[in-house]
Amino acid sequence: MFLERAVEEARRRVREMSKIFPVTHLETLCSDLPPPPSLSRAIRRNAEEGVAIIAEVKRRSPSRGVINPDLRVAETVRAYSRGGACAVSVLTEPRHFGGSLLDLAEASAAVDIPVLRKDFILDRYQLLEARAAGAAAVLLIAAALDKRGLSSLLAESRELALECLVEIRDEKELEKALEAGAQMIGINNRDLDTLEVDVKTALRLAPLVPDSLTLVAESGYRSRGDLEGLRERGVDAVLVGEALSGSRDPERALLALRGAGKASSNREAGEGLSGP
């Protein structure tokens, strides 16, 4: 199972990194940092004009393989910002996604919009890493954590001024997230065991999420038409990775996805979102 392997690898990285860079050093780095911008507020603000877009930095994936090995982080996230992204997501997992904390730090330094660390977060150490690298929020995967662990990470994130996007795949995981106190819910259309995508997952689960929470749909969105009906179901934002990171022109691709500017037609959207 992919998720089980990824979680064990994440635990091993935490053990290795904590020996090289002790937690006390990270705590010192984080102690004087100013508050980061709010991801939930950025989503809500942009959602007033339609479904907001969280644009992702993604070099490769276990499902697709290589997406964009030559991706330049600062250049890409600036293009996302110009294209109207409400926030940026940065994959920091190295083995399967080709990411790093350096990518996160570079993205955070390049734009003023919130930056989300997307990884297999299991430990407070990783929260400190994220905060030190400039993240405004982190992804927590409900399937990778028991309710006690999820509640603990949510509380520790609040202490560090980090917001959490809690990712779920079914009703049981949604119940766990709500009981743990999640304020932002991400519905992942991708099954992290089989890596298959079914965009109906978000449509099915979205009405079950309380209106008071911020709701993000993840995976499988490639064109403007894919977003139809999401806002009516209560979705505030979508997180888009492969279609944007793999584009030759990420700014134009994002404008097309938003239905903005010259790239507003479905035909242009399809062209703008095509991979290399």
Instruction: Report residue 211's pLDDT band, with 50, 70 and 90 as the boundaries.
Output: very high
Catalytic residue among 188, 189, 223, 245: 188
Q: Do residues 189 and 218 touch, judged by C-beta distance below 8 A?
A: yes
What was the pLDDT predicted at 236?
96
Contacts of 166 by beta carbon, 8 Å cutoff, 6+ apart: 140, 142, 150, 154, 177, 180, 182, 184, 185, 186
Q: What is the mean pLDDT of residues 136-143?
A: 97
**Catalytic residue status for 159:** no
89-93, 135-139, 153-157, 230-234: which has the minimum mean pLDDT? 230-234
Q: What is the pLDDT of residues 92-128, one digit of tens each?
A: 999 999 999 999 999 999 999 999 999 999 999 999 9
Percent of the chain past pLDDT 70, that is, above it, reads 94
**Domain 2-272: which CATH number of 3.90.1520.10, 3.20.20.70, 3.30.450.90, 3.40.50.10320:** 3.20.20.70
Is 218 tagged catalytic? yes
Q: What percent of the chain has pLDDT over 90?
A: 77
Q: Which among 118, 157, 163, 176 is annotated as catalytic? A: 118
Amino acid of residue 252 = R
Catalytic residue chosen out of the listed positions 68, 157, 219, 247: 219
Please tell me the predicted confidence (pLDDT) of residue 261: 54
Burial class (CB in 10 A: 0-12, 13-18, 19+), 78: middle
Residues 137 and 126 sit within 8 Å (Cβ to Cβ): no
Output the furthest CA–CA distance in the chain (Å, rounded): 53
Identify the pLDDT of residue 135. 98
Based on the residue annotation, tell me whether 46 is a catalytic residue of this protein: no
How, if at all, do strands 65-66 and 60-61 pair?
Answer: antiparallel
Choosing from 93, 163, 218, 268, the catalytic residue is: 218
What pLDDT band is residue 10 in, cutting at 50, 70 and 90? very high
Determine the average pLDDT of the residues in 165-172.
97
Is 16 catalytic? The answer is: no
118 belongs to the catalytic site: yes
Residue 86 pLDDT level (bands cut at 50, 70, 90): very high
Beta bridge partners of 238: 53, 217
- pLDDT at position 192: 86
Q: Is the pLDDT of residue 35 over 60?
A: yes
Q: Does residue 179 carry a catalytic annotation?
A: no
CA distance linking residue 58 with residue 70, whole number of Å? 11
The overall average pLDDT reported for the chain is: 91
pLDDT for 68 equals: 83
Distance, CA of 180 to CA of 152 (rounded, Å)? 9
What pLDDT score does 267 carry? 39
Mean pLDDT to the nearest integer, 146-162: 97
Catalytic residue among 93, 167, 242, 268: 167
Tell me if residue 56 is catalytic.
yes
At position 258, the amino acid (one-letter code) is R
Exactly one of 56, 93, 106, 173 is catalytic; name it.
56
Domain parsing of the chain, residue ranges: 2-272
